[in-house]
DNA sequence: GTTCATGCTTTGTCCAGGACTAACCATTGA
DNA sequence: TCAATGGTTAGTCCTGGACAAAGCATGAAC
């Protein structure tokens, strides 16, 4: 009956910006268990306690936890990170993204980041719209959006962009892509592709990017949006008689959870349904998954489609 | 280093459809602590254990948990629900929604649900597009979408719609609204409204519906999409110099968490920024929140806008 | 009869600390 | 160069206790 998110001190005035463990879980994505375990094992974070013995995290804790999380999402291990200061962590992030910066850091990417930093929503919308118009949908996604996403992600990691600035970017991009996809002539052709993500994977941008690549190729896309329970993914694939099931995983998604789920779906679905697994996470997958096509980047999606079409023969069963 | 989501039995074959506690948390939105406490107190759910002593929930558990959650979201208490069977719970849900059904259960709603049940994505898209075209954006949102959402939600609660069918509905509706909002002439006027949700609130449909109502009124909407951390909401409101901050909460969102967050934001934001809180949850709010306008339904949003405009006087500070 | 204060009951969250296993990593052997 | 092995790191699950907030009912006061 609790979860105040922000605790009150004795005077009844909310002590500014002190968060309890639930709030930290929400803000950082780290589970309560992990937060307590880190405190036990690494001595960080070590929050003060309120009158009731409950942990009270400070904004500084949150900032460092976010920095740690970011670096972990690109493969670093918590034990090596926890002892460092926030500045050191940010420096680490810089090093990681530096190689990409000096080699012809394209003007476009710097322009977009500048627009975000000046909070010019209208300008950003125009910029994205113009690019899309000039390049066409597929080229826009492959040559512009992918590096832009990377540039925005790196800038965020380096602390040059706030969370809300990144949100605005994502939202504007979603709007632009959605618009373009919706106004493409609706296809009724082959293959039919079902798009969604596993529960826990919130990011739907990848789905829309794939859709934007496939629709101009005459593919009929059916998107369920993010977070469909596994059993419902199976039901939907069967109900819509799809030829391809395309799943998207962001870099932070646990590999184990993905591979288990994919193996389960492969068993539950008829063999003539092709399964595609795409997104950042797939680059961390070591073992091969029988009956699942890995799509480590967007260009591979187009290739996979070509390959599917080359091998496909119409079946009487409706597939 | 775990969270398989779906456990393996001794043969290495995934025992179909058995979920661990993390997976149940994801699928139902009930925290691990709550699941364990319910087992202790109410003796439900009482899952089997695997070789390692870990809980293994069945699909039947999930179904009943979802039914319980749904009824709790409309105000019932868990102690009264837990002992009942799934059928009884569904009956309860029926009773609750019956009053709306017999009074001219509109043909439109039954049509849409029939389209969903026959998995006719194209037909649904056409139906929504036609309605929107005929009615105009505002009327579509107020008179059509709102009852449709309710009808779809009720049908899901009664088990007449699968999760994936509801997902498809949401996705198609999002596409239609986004399209309409994007093609409205961009406004640069007053007020500027910032739209987003708190962390933990994933549903962005409400945001888009509000946007669809406001844009035709000449409002400049800036949407960050769902789940912006509180501190970043504050930063965004200041950076964009917005006049109104609009937050959306679905019925399942914890009231306490919302009111605390709103009080916090109210303290952190300059007084000339109006805060709107809308969505199903706001109907469960008892106490008045100083400096926060509650928007229990979408028509109120339009009224609140009129009221804001009646009282607003331009300020030198840019607000 | 309505409204408010009070106390009891219900319910969710937090805590501690132990256990187990998957993932990672470095070393060794083929 | 690659694969097996074993130690180390790291995340999740468990139990069971404690506490406080929200809901609810009772009774007093207007």
> B198-231 pLDDT, tens per residue?
877 888 999 999 999 999 999 999 999 998 888 8
When pLDDT is averaged across residues B88-93 and rounded to a whole number, the result is: 84
Instruction: Place A10 in a pLDDT band, splitting at 50, 70 and 90.
Output: very low
Say yes or no to pLDDT of B191 above 90: yes
- Nearest chain A Cα distance for residue B139, angstroms: 21
Task: Report the distance separating Cα B256 and Cα A277, nearest Å.
Answer: 39
Please tell me what DSSP assigns to residue A161: S
Instruction: Write down the pLDDT at residue A317.
Output: 57
Higher pLDDT, A85 or A8: A85
> Closest-CA residue in chain B for A1?
B256
pTM: 0.83
- Nearest chain B Cα distance for residue A176, angstroms: 8
Instruction: Write down the pLDDT at residue A6.
Output: 45
H or E stretch at A182: helix A163-183
Q: CB distance B3–A263 less than 8 Å?
A: no
When pLDDT is averaged across residues B26-44 and rounded to a whole number, the result is: 91
Instruction: Place A13 in a pLDDT band, splitting at 50, 70 and 90.
Output: very low
Q: Which residue is nearest to nucleotide C17 (CA to C1')?
A: A40
Chain B hits for A212, Cβ within 8 Å: none
Q: Is the CB of B38 under 7 A from strand C?
A: yes
Taking the CB of residue A104, how many other CB atoms lie within 10 A of it?
Answer: 7
Higher pLDDT, A78 or A250: A78
Instruction: Write down the pLDDT at residue A199.
Output: 77
Q: Is the CB of B108 under 7 A from strand D?
A: no
Higher pLDDT, B78 or A186: B78
Instruction: Write down the pLDDT at residue A8.
Output: 36
Nearest-10 crossing angle of helices B86-102, B59-73: 40
Instruction: Write down the pLDDT at residue A101.
Output: 46
Which domains does chain A possess?
6-100 (1.10.1660.10), 105-183 (1.10.1240.10), 192-311 (3.40.50.280)
Q: Is the CB of B6 under 7 A from strand C?
A: no
Q: What percent of chain B has pLDDT over 70?
A: 87
> Closest-CA residue in chain A for B260?
A4
Instruction: Place A9 in a pLDDT band, splitting at 50, 70 and 90.
Output: very low
Instruction: Write down the pLDDT at residue A99.
Output: 54
When pLDDT is averaged across residues A66-92 and rounded to a whole number, the result is: 86
Say yes or no to pLDDT of A203 above 70: yes
Smallest Cβ distance to A256: which of B4, B164, B239?
Answer: B4
Instruction: Write down the pLDDT at residue A257.
Output: 73
Instruction: Write down the pLDDT at residue B132.
Output: 95
Q: CB distance A179–B174 less than 8 Å?
A: no
Q: What percent of chain A has pLDDT over 70?
A: 87
Say yes or no to pLDDT of A100 above 60: no
- Residue A79: both structure tokens together: 């034990």
Say yes or no to pLDDT of A7 above 60: no
Rounded distance in angstroms from the CA atom of residue A76 to the C1' atom of nucleotide D10 = 12
Instruction: Write down the pLDDT at residue A21.
Output: 92
Q: Which of B117, B225, B235, B245 to mutate to test the interface with A (most CBs of A within 10 A)?
A: B225
């Amino acid at each position: 009956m609790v979860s105040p998110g922000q605790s009150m001190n004795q005077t009844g005035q909310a002590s500014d910006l002190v968060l309890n463990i639930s709030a930290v879980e929400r803000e950082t994505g780290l589970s309560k268990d992990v937060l307590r375990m880190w405190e036990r094992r690494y001595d960080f974070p070590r929050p003060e306690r309120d009158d009731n013995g409950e942990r009270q995290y400070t904004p500084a804790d949150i900032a460092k936890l976010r920095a740690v999380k970011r670096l972990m999402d690109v493969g670093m291990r918590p034990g090596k990170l926890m002892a460092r200061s926030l500045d050191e962590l940010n420096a680490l992030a810089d090093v990681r993204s530096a190689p990409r910066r000096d080699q012809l850091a394209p003007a476009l990417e710097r322009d977009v980041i500048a627009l975000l930093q000046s909070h010019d929503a209208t300008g950003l919308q125009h910029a994205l719209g113009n690019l899309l118009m000039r390049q066409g949908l597929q080229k826009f996604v492959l040559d512009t959006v992918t590096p832009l996403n990377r540039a925005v992600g790196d800038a965020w990691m380096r602390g040059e962009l706030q969370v809300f600035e990144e949100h605005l970017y994502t939202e504007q991009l979603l709007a632009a892509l959605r618009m373009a996809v919706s106004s493409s002539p609706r296809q009724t052709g082959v293959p039919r592709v079902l798009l969604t993500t596993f529960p826990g994977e919130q990011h739907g941008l990848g789905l829309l990017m794939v859709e934007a690549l496939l629709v101009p190729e005459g593919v009929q896309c059916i998107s369920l949006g993010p977070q469909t329970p596994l059993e419902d993914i199976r039901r939907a694939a069967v109900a819509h008689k799809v030829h391809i099931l395309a799943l998207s995983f962001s870099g932070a998604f646990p590999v184990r959870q993905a591979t288990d789920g994919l193996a389960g779906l492969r068993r539950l679905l008829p063999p003539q349904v092709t399964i595609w697994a795409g997104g950042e996470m797939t680059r961390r997958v070591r073992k091969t998954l029988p009956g699942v096509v890995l799509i480590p980047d967007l260009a591979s999606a187009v290739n996979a489609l070509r390959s599917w079409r080359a091998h496909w023969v119409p079946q009487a069963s409706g597939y």
